[in-house]
Amino acid sequence: MNISLDSGEAQAVSLNAQAVYFTEEHRYSIEKSVSDCLWNEPMSLHTSIGVGGEAACIVFPSGIKELKDILRIAYSGNIPCYVVGKGTNLLVADKGYVGIIINLSKGFNKIAKQDSDDRIFLKAEAGVPMQRLMRYCIKHGLSGIEFLAGIPGSVGGGMAMNAGINEFEVMDYVTDITIVRGLDIKTIQRRDINTGYRTLLLDRVDIIIEAGLSLKKDDSAAIAGRMRKLIGKRRLTQPFKEKNCGCIFRNPKGYSAGKLIDEAGLKGKRMGNAQISEKHANFIINLGGATCSDIKGIIECVIKRVEESKGIHLHPEAVLLGMEGPWVL
Ligand SMILES: Cc1cc2nc3c(=O)[nH]c(=O)nc-3n(C[C@H](O)[C@H](O)[C@H](O)COP(=O)(O)OP(=O)(O)OC[C@H]3O[C@@H](n4cnc5c(N)ncnc54)[C@H](O)[C@@H]3O)c2cc1C
Protein backbone atom coordinates (compact mmCIF):
# COMPACT_ATOMS: atom_id res chain seq x y z
CA MET A 1 0.00 0.00 0.00
CA ASN A 2 1.13 3.44 -0.80
CA ILE A 3 0.37 6.56 1.18
CA SER A 4 -0.19 9.52 -1.03
CA LEU A 5 1.18 12.52 0.80
CA ASP A 6 0.42 15.27 -1.63
CA SER A 7 2.83 17.94 -2.68
CA GLY A 8 1.63 21.54 -3.03
CA GLU A 9 0.83 20.73 -6.62
CA ALA A 10 -1.74 18.23 -5.48
CA GLN A 11 -4.18 16.98 -8.02
CA ALA A 12 -7.56 18.60 -8.04
CA VAL A 13 -9.66 17.19 -5.26
CA SER A 14 -13.40 16.91 -5.17
CA LEU A 15 -15.46 16.95 -2.03
CA ASN A 16 -17.86 14.58 -3.73
CA ALA A 17 -15.16 11.97 -3.53
CA GLN A 18 -15.12 12.21 0.25
CA ALA A 19 -17.10 9.04 0.78
CA VAL A 20 -14.48 7.10 -1.13
CA TYR A 21 -11.80 8.07 1.30
CA PHE A 22 -13.62 8.20 4.61
CA THR A 23 -15.68 5.26 5.72
CA GLU A 24 -17.28 5.18 9.17
CA GLU A 25 -14.48 2.81 10.14
CA HIS A 26 -11.84 5.34 9.11
CA ARG A 27 -13.57 8.05 11.11
CA TYR A 28 -13.74 5.78 14.14
CA SER A 29 -10.04 4.82 13.91
CA ILE A 30 -8.96 8.42 13.38
CA GLU A 31 -10.96 9.66 16.36
CA LYS A 32 -9.58 6.82 18.48
CA SER A 33 -5.98 7.49 17.39
CA VAL A 34 -5.66 11.25 17.86
CA SER A 35 -6.75 13.30 20.82
CA ASP A 36 -7.55 16.27 18.61
CA CYS A 37 -9.21 16.20 15.21
CA LEU A 38 -11.79 18.29 13.35
CA TRP A 39 -14.05 17.23 10.49
CA ASN A 40 -15.06 19.34 7.51
CA GLU A 41 -12.92 22.16 8.79
CA PRO A 42 -12.64 25.34 6.67
CA MET A 43 -8.99 25.78 5.69
CA SER A 44 -9.66 29.52 5.59
CA LEU A 45 -9.27 29.31 9.38
CA HIS A 46 -5.83 27.72 9.01
CA THR A 47 -4.24 29.96 6.37
CA SER A 48 -2.99 33.49 6.97
CA ILE A 49 -4.73 34.77 3.83
CA GLY A 50 -8.02 33.37 5.12
CA VAL A 51 -9.16 31.45 2.05
CA GLY A 52 -9.64 27.76 1.31
CA GLY A 53 -12.50 25.30 1.38
CA GLU A 54 -13.05 22.49 3.83
CA ALA A 55 -10.49 19.86 4.70
CA ALA A 56 -12.29 16.57 5.16
CA CYS A 57 -10.26 16.09 8.33
CA ILE A 58 -7.55 17.99 10.19
CA VAL A 59 -5.57 16.28 12.94
CA PHE A 60 -3.31 17.70 15.64
CA PRO A 61 -1.20 14.74 16.82
CA SER A 62 0.02 15.07 20.40
CA GLY A 63 3.34 13.42 19.61
CA ILE A 64 5.11 10.82 17.52
CA LYS A 65 2.83 7.94 18.50
CA GLU A 66 -0.33 9.71 17.36
CA LEU A 67 1.41 10.93 14.20
CA LYS A 68 2.44 7.40 13.29
CA ASP A 69 -1.02 6.03 14.12
CA ILE A 70 -2.60 8.54 11.73
CA LEU A 71 -0.09 7.71 9.01
CA ARG A 72 -0.81 4.01 9.50
CA ILE A 73 -4.55 4.65 9.01
CA ALA A 74 -3.81 6.74 5.91
CA TYR A 75 -1.56 3.97 4.52
CA SER A 76 -4.10 1.27 5.00
CA GLY A 77 -7.03 3.34 3.71
CA ASN A 78 -5.09 4.97 0.86
CA ILE A 79 -6.16 8.36 2.22
CA PRO A 80 -4.21 11.40 0.98
CA CYS A 81 -2.42 13.40 3.70
CA TYR A 82 -0.85 16.83 3.68
CA VAL A 83 1.22 18.41 6.43
CA VAL A 84 0.84 22.12 7.13
CA GLY A 85 2.49 24.56 9.47
CA LYS A 86 0.80 27.88 10.16
CA GLY A 87 -0.46 28.22 6.61
CA THR A 88 1.42 31.48 5.98
CA ASN A 89 2.62 30.49 2.51
CA LEU A 90 -0.33 28.33 1.60
CA LEU A 91 -3.29 28.76 -0.75
CA VAL A 92 -5.96 26.10 -0.54
CA ALA A 93 -8.52 25.66 -3.34
CA ASP A 94 -12.13 26.70 -2.69
CA LYS A 95 -13.20 23.08 -3.16
CA GLY A 96 -11.05 22.12 -0.18
CA TYR A 97 -9.01 19.03 0.44
CA VAL A 98 -10.36 15.51 0.51
CA GLY A 99 -7.87 13.94 2.83
CA ILE A 100 -6.18 14.38 6.20
CA ILE A 101 -4.43 17.65 6.96
CA ILE A 102 -1.72 17.09 9.58
CA ASN A 103 -0.90 20.02 11.84
CA LEU A 104 2.06 19.61 14.22
CA SER A 105 1.46 22.76 16.30
CA LYS A 106 0.13 20.97 19.37
CA GLY A 107 2.45 18.01 19.86
CA PHE A 108 5.74 19.17 18.38
CA ASN A 109 6.54 22.43 20.09
CA LYS A 110 9.66 22.00 22.21
CA ILE A 111 12.98 23.82 21.96
CA ALA A 112 16.14 22.45 23.62
CA LYS A 113 19.71 23.74 23.60
CA GLN A 114 23.14 22.36 24.09
CA ASP A 115 26.12 24.67 24.75
CA SER A 116 29.62 24.11 23.45
CA ASP A 117 32.54 26.57 23.76
CA ASP A 118 31.44 29.19 21.30
CA ARG A 119 28.50 27.59 19.49
CA ILE A 120 25.05 26.70 20.74
CA PHE A 121 23.19 23.80 19.21
CA LEU A 122 19.42 24.07 19.22
CA LYS A 123 16.81 21.45 18.56
CA ALA A 124 13.50 23.01 17.59
CA GLU A 125 10.43 20.91 16.88
CA ALA A 126 8.42 21.52 13.72
CA GLY A 127 5.36 23.01 15.41
CA VAL A 128 7.30 25.76 17.21
CA PRO A 129 6.14 29.15 15.90
CA MET A 130 9.04 30.98 14.25
CA GLN A 131 8.36 34.03 16.41
CA ARG A 132 8.72 31.93 19.56
CA LEU A 133 12.07 30.72 18.27
CA MET A 134 13.07 34.37 17.80
CA ARG A 135 12.11 35.19 21.40
CA TYR A 136 14.06 32.14 22.59
CA CYS A 137 17.15 33.37 20.69
CA ILE A 138 16.88 36.79 22.32
CA LYS A 139 16.41 35.32 25.80
CA HIS A 140 19.36 32.97 25.51
CA GLY A 141 21.63 35.27 23.49
CA LEU A 142 21.72 33.15 20.32
CA SER A 143 22.71 34.83 17.10
CA GLY A 144 22.61 33.85 13.42
CA ILE A 145 18.98 33.61 12.39
CA GLU A 146 17.86 37.16 13.25
CA PHE A 147 16.90 37.54 9.56
CA LEU A 148 13.90 35.29 10.26
CA ALA A 149 12.39 37.94 12.57
CA GLY A 150 9.06 39.02 11.13
CA ILE A 151 8.68 35.93 8.94
CA PRO A 152 5.57 34.22 10.27
CA GLY A 153 5.02 30.48 10.26
CA SER A 154 6.38 27.45 12.04
CA VAL A 155 9.81 25.85 12.22
CA GLY A 156 8.58 22.95 10.02
CA GLY A 157 7.23 25.33 7.38
CA GLY A 158 10.35 27.49 7.61
CA MET A 159 12.55 24.47 6.90
CA ALA A 160 10.32 23.12 4.13
CA MET A 161 10.33 26.54 2.42
CA ASN A 162 13.98 27.29 3.26
CA ALA A 163 12.72 30.62 4.60
CA GLY A 164 14.90 33.69 4.41
CA ILE A 165 15.54 37.15 3.09
CA ASN A 166 17.89 38.26 0.32
CA GLU A 167 20.93 36.01 0.43
CA PHE A 168 20.14 34.64 3.90
CA GLU A 169 18.48 31.22 4.10
CA VAL A 170 17.62 29.26 7.20
CA MET A 171 19.23 26.11 5.83
CA ASP A 172 22.66 27.78 6.16
CA TYR A 173 22.22 27.47 9.95
CA VAL A 174 20.78 23.97 10.03
CA THR A 175 22.89 21.00 11.14
CA ASP A 176 20.31 18.27 10.59
CA ILE A 177 16.64 17.63 10.10
CA THR A 178 14.59 14.84 11.61
CA ILE A 179 11.77 13.51 9.47
CA VAL A 180 9.14 10.84 9.43
CA ARG A 181 9.39 8.93 6.16
CA GLY A 182 6.80 6.23 5.81
CA LEU A 183 6.65 5.12 9.42
CA ASP A 184 10.38 5.50 10.09
CA ILE A 185 12.08 8.35 11.90
CA LYS A 186 15.29 9.48 10.22
CA THR A 187 17.76 12.22 11.01
CA ILE A 188 19.40 13.61 7.88
CA GLN A 189 22.59 15.63 8.08
CA ARG A 190 22.60 19.05 6.39
CA ARG A 191 25.25 17.96 3.85
CA ASP A 192 22.85 15.28 2.61
CA ILE A 193 19.96 17.70 2.03
CA ASN A 194 19.65 19.50 -1.29
CA THR A 195 18.22 22.98 -1.03
CA GLY A 196 17.14 25.64 -3.46
CA TYR A 197 15.59 29.09 -3.46
CA ARG A 198 12.67 28.84 -1.01
CA THR A 199 12.68 25.11 -1.25
CA LEU A 200 14.04 21.99 0.33
CA LEU A 201 14.43 19.02 -1.91
CA LEU A 202 13.22 16.33 0.44
CA ASP A 203 11.06 13.45 -0.66
CA ARG A 204 7.50 14.70 -1.08
CA VAL A 205 6.26 12.29 1.58
CA ASP A 206 8.68 13.45 4.28
CA ILE A 207 7.26 15.09 7.39
CA ILE A 208 9.76 17.29 9.20
CA ILE A 209 9.42 16.88 12.95
CA GLU A 210 12.57 18.63 14.22
CA ALA A 211 15.45 20.79 13.05
CA GLY A 212 18.93 21.13 14.54
CA LEU A 213 20.48 24.60 14.32
CA SER A 214 23.98 25.86 15.01
CA LEU A 215 24.09 29.40 16.40
CA LYS A 216 26.64 31.58 18.15
CA LYS A 217 26.54 33.43 21.42
CA ASP A 218 25.92 37.16 21.40
CA ASP A 219 24.45 39.90 23.50
CA SER A 220 20.65 39.60 23.84
CA ALA A 221 20.08 43.35 23.46
CA ALA A 222 22.13 43.43 20.24
CA ILE A 223 20.17 40.48 18.82
CA ALA A 224 16.85 42.08 19.77
CA GLY A 225 17.97 45.36 18.18
CA ARG A 226 18.80 43.66 14.87
CA MET A 227 15.43 41.89 14.86
CA ARG A 228 13.54 45.10 15.68
CA LYS A 229 15.21 46.85 12.77
CA LEU A 230 14.19 44.12 10.32
CA ILE A 231 10.61 44.04 11.60
CA GLY A 232 10.43 47.85 11.31
CA LYS A 233 11.58 47.64 7.69
CA ARG A 234 8.94 45.02 6.92
CA ARG A 235 6.21 47.19 8.37
CA LEU A 236 7.21 49.99 6.04
CA THR A 237 7.39 47.89 2.90
CA GLN A 238 4.85 45.05 3.30
CA PRO A 239 1.13 44.92 4.00
CA PHE A 240 0.88 43.73 7.60
CA LYS A 241 -2.65 44.81 8.46
CA GLU A 242 -4.41 42.88 5.68
CA LYS A 243 -4.59 39.10 5.34
CA ASN A 244 -2.02 37.74 2.90
CA CYS A 245 0.24 34.77 2.36
CA GLY A 246 3.60 36.45 1.88
CA CYS A 247 5.19 36.72 -1.54
CA ILE A 248 3.03 35.12 -4.21
CA PHE A 249 5.80 34.77 -6.81
CA ARG A 250 9.42 33.70 -6.70
CA ASN A 251 11.95 36.32 -7.69
CA PRO A 252 13.32 35.32 -11.10
CA LYS A 253 17.14 35.29 -11.09
CA GLY A 254 18.35 38.89 -11.15
CA TYR A 255 14.84 40.40 -10.88
CA SER A 256 12.37 41.38 -8.20
CA ALA A 257 8.95 39.85 -8.88
CA GLY A 258 7.31 42.78 -7.05
CA LYS A 259 9.05 45.31 -9.29
CA LEU A 260 8.09 43.41 -12.45
CA ILE A 261 4.43 43.33 -11.36
CA ASP A 262 4.54 47.03 -10.48
CA GLU A 263 6.10 47.92 -13.85
CA ALA A 264 3.40 45.89 -15.61
CA GLY A 265 0.96 48.39 -14.07
CA LEU A 266 -0.76 45.86 -11.85
CA LYS A 267 -0.40 47.40 -8.37
CA GLY A 268 -3.86 47.70 -6.87
CA LYS A 269 -5.41 45.33 -9.47
CA ARG A 270 -8.52 43.78 -7.96
CA MET A 271 -10.52 40.64 -8.70
CA GLY A 272 -13.49 39.91 -6.51
CA ASN A 273 -12.27 40.59 -3.00
CA ALA A 274 -8.59 39.97 -3.67
CA GLN A 275 -6.20 42.73 -4.62
CA ILE A 276 -2.54 43.21 -5.46
CA SER A 277 -1.22 45.22 -2.54
CA GLU A 278 -0.57 48.91 -3.17
CA LYS A 279 2.30 48.65 -0.71
CA HIS A 280 4.16 45.69 -2.25
CA ALA A 281 3.14 44.28 -5.63
CA ASN A 282 4.27 40.74 -4.82
CA PHE A 283 1.58 40.45 -2.13
CA ILE A 284 -2.07 39.65 -2.78
CA ILE A 285 -4.37 40.76 0.01
CA ASN A 286 -7.75 39.46 1.05
CA LEU A 287 -10.01 42.51 1.36
CA GLY A 288 -12.56 40.37 3.22
CA GLY A 289 -14.41 37.37 1.85
CA ALA A 290 -11.94 36.72 -1.01
CA THR A 291 -12.06 33.28 -2.57
CA CYS A 292 -9.22 31.20 -3.88
CA SER A 293 -10.63 31.70 -7.40
CA ASP A 294 -10.28 35.49 -6.95
CA ILE A 295 -6.62 34.95 -6.08
CA LYS A 296 -6.13 32.42 -8.86
CA GLY A 297 -7.57 34.99 -11.28
CA ILE A 298 -5.00 37.56 -10.17
CA ILE A 299 -2.15 35.02 -10.39
CA GLU A 300 -3.15 34.15 -13.97
CA CYS A 301 -3.47 37.80 -14.95
CA VAL A 302 -0.04 38.67 -13.45
CA ILE A 303 1.69 35.77 -15.20
CA LYS A 304 0.15 36.76 -18.55
CA ARG A 305 0.81 40.49 -18.25
CA VAL A 306 4.41 40.18 -17.00
CA GLU A 307 5.16 37.64 -19.72
CA GLU A 308 3.69 39.95 -22.38
CA SER A 309 5.36 43.13 -21.16
CA LYS A 310 8.70 41.78 -19.94
CA GLY A 311 9.09 38.37 -21.52
CA ILE A 312 9.62 36.86 -18.07
CA HIS A 313 7.57 33.96 -16.75
CA LEU A 314 6.76 34.23 -13.05
CA HIS A 315 6.35 31.10 -10.95
CA PRO A 316 4.31 31.00 -7.75
CA GLU A 317 6.27 30.85 -4.49
CA ALA A 318 3.19 30.26 -2.36
CA VAL A 319 2.22 26.60 -2.14
CA LEU A 320 -0.97 25.88 -4.05
CA LEU A 321 -2.92 23.02 -2.58
CA GLY A 322 -5.60 21.49 -4.75
CA MET A 323 -5.25 24.07 -7.50
CA GLU A 324 -4.86 23.45 -11.19
CA GLY A 325 -3.36 25.48 -14.00
CA PRO A 326 -0.49 25.44 -16.46
CA TRP A 327 1.28 27.82 -14.09
CA VAL A 328 1.28 25.38 -11.18
CA LEU A 329 4.91 24.33 -10.86
C1 LIG B 1 3.42 38.77 5.89
C2 LIG B 1 4.29 37.62 5.43
C3 LIG B 1 5.63 37.84 5.19
C4 LIG B 1 6.46 36.79 4.75
N5 LIG B 1 7.77 37.03 4.53
C6 LIG B 1 8.59 36.02 4.16
C7 LIG B 1 10.00 36.23 3.95
O8 LIG B 1 10.52 37.34 4.09
N9 LIG B 1 10.76 35.17 3.61
C10 LIG B 1 10.24 33.91 3.47
O11 LIG B 1 11.01 32.98 3.18
N12 LIG B 1 8.93 33.69 3.64
C13 LIG B 1 8.09 34.68 3.98
N14 LIG B 1 6.75 34.46 4.16
C15 LIG B 1 6.18 33.13 3.84
C16 LIG B 1 6.03 32.17 5.02
O17 LIG B 1 5.89 32.87 6.22
C18 LIG B 1 7.23 31.21 5.12
O19 LIG B 1 7.39 30.47 3.94
C20 LIG B 1 7.05 30.25 6.30
O21 LIG B 1 8.29 29.65 6.54
C22 LIG B 1 5.98 29.18 6.06
O23 LIG B 1 5.77 28.49 7.28
P24 LIG B 1 4.36 27.86 7.64
O25 LIG B 1 4.52 27.11 8.92
O26 LIG B 1 3.30 28.89 7.64
O27 LIG B 1 4.17 26.84 6.45
P28 LIG B 1 2.82 26.54 5.63
O29 LIG B 1 2.44 27.77 4.87
O30 LIG B 1 1.82 25.93 6.51
O31 LIG B 1 3.35 25.45 4.61
C32 LIG B 1 4.24 25.82 3.58
C33 LIG B 1 4.82 24.54 2.98
O34 LIG B 1 5.62 23.89 3.94
C35 LIG B 1 5.21 22.54 4.09
N36 LIG B 1 5.37 22.16 5.50
C37 LIG B 1 4.91 22.82 6.59
N38 LIG B 1 5.26 22.15 7.70
C39 LIG B 1 5.94 21.05 7.31
C40 LIG B 1 6.53 19.95 7.99
N41 LIG B 1 6.50 19.84 9.31
N42 LIG B 1 7.13 18.97 7.25
C43 LIG B 1 7.16 19.05 5.89
N44 LIG B 1 6.61 20.07 5.19
C45 LIG B 1 6.02 21.05 5.89
C46 LIG B 1 3.73 22.52 3.69
O47 LIG B 1 3.36 21.24 3.27
C48 LIG B 1 3.74 23.53 2.56
O49 LIG B 1 4.20 22.89 1.39
C50 LIG B 1 5.90 35.50 4.58
C51 LIG B 1 4.54 35.28 4.85
C52 LIG B 1 3.73 36.33 5.26
C53 LIG B 1 2.28 36.08 5.55
Would 121 be classed as within a structural domain?
A: yes
Taking only the tens place, the pLDDT of each residue in 247-262 is 999 999 999 999 999 9
User: Do 220 and 274 belong to one domain?
Assistant: no
Number of domains in the chain: 3
Would you say 162 and 169 are in contact if contact means Cβ atoms under 8 Å apart? yes
Give the pLDDT score at 288. 97
Give the pLDDT score at 124. 98
The rounded Å distance from CA 154 to ligand 1 centre is 7
What distance in Å separates the CA atoms of residue 178 and residue 211, rounded to the nearest whole number?
Answer: 6
The rounded Å distance from CA 20 to ligand 1 centre is 31
Would 10 be classed as within a structural domain?
A: no
Give the pLDDT score at 327. 57
What distance in Å separates the CA atoms of residue 151 and residue 246, rounded to the nearest whole number?
Answer: 9
CATH value at residue 75: 3.30.43.10
Single out the residue in 201, 236, 271 at which a domain terminates.
236
Give the pLDDT score at 202. 74
Q: Where are the alpha helices (DSSP H) in 186-239?
A: 220-237
User: Do 228 and 117 belong to one domain?
Assistant: yes
Would 6 be classed as within a structural domain?
A: no
User: Do 30 and 145 belong to one domain?
Assistant: no
Low-confidence spans in the chain with pLDDT less than 50:
1-19, 329
Give the pLDDT score at 18. 45
Give the pLDDT score at 325. 65
Which amino acid residue places its CA nearest to atom 28 of ligand 1?
87
Give the pLDDT score at 200. 81
Would 24 be classed as within a structural domain?
A: yes
The rounded Å distance from CA 15 to ligand 1 centre is 26
The rounded Å distance from CA 11 to ligand 1 centre is 20
163 CA: nearest ligand 1 atom: 11
User: Do 210 and 264 belong to one domain?
Assistant: no
Would 3 be classed as within a structural domain?
A: no
Query: Which of 161, 195, 244, 249 is the pocket-test mutation for ligand 1 (most atoms within 8 Å of CB)?
Result: 161
Backbone angles phi, psi at 222, to 5 degrees: -65, -40
Q: Both ends of the chain: CA-CA distance in Å? A: 27
CATH value at residue 295: 3.90.78.10
Would 329 be classed as within a structural domain?
A: no
Give the pLDDT score at 20. 55
Give the pLDDT score at 117. 74
CB 144: neighbour CB atoms within 10 A? 20
User: Do 88 and 120 belong to one domain?
Assistant: no
User: Do 166 and 245 belong to one domain?
Assistant: no
Single out the residue in 236, 254, 274 at which a domain terminates.
236
Burial of residue 220 (CB within 10 Å: 0-12, 13-18, 19+) is: middle
Cα–Cα distance list, 75 to 26, 97, 140, 206, 228 (Å): 11, 17, 41, 14, 45
Give the pLDDT score at 17. 44
Domain that holds residue 177: 111-236
User: Do 96 and 158 belong to one domain?
Assistant: no
User: Do 83 and 138 belong to one domain?
Assistant: no
244 CA: nearest ligand 1 atom: 53
CATH value at residue 122: 3.30.465.10
Q: Identify the residues whose C-beta falls under 6 Å from ligand 1.
A: 8, 48, 83-90, 104, 126, 151-154, 156-158, 160-161, 163-165, 198, 207-208, 238, 244-246, 319
Q: pTM of this prediction?
A: 0.92
User: Do 210 and 141 belong to one domain?
Assistant: yes
State whether residue 266 is helix, strand or coil: coil
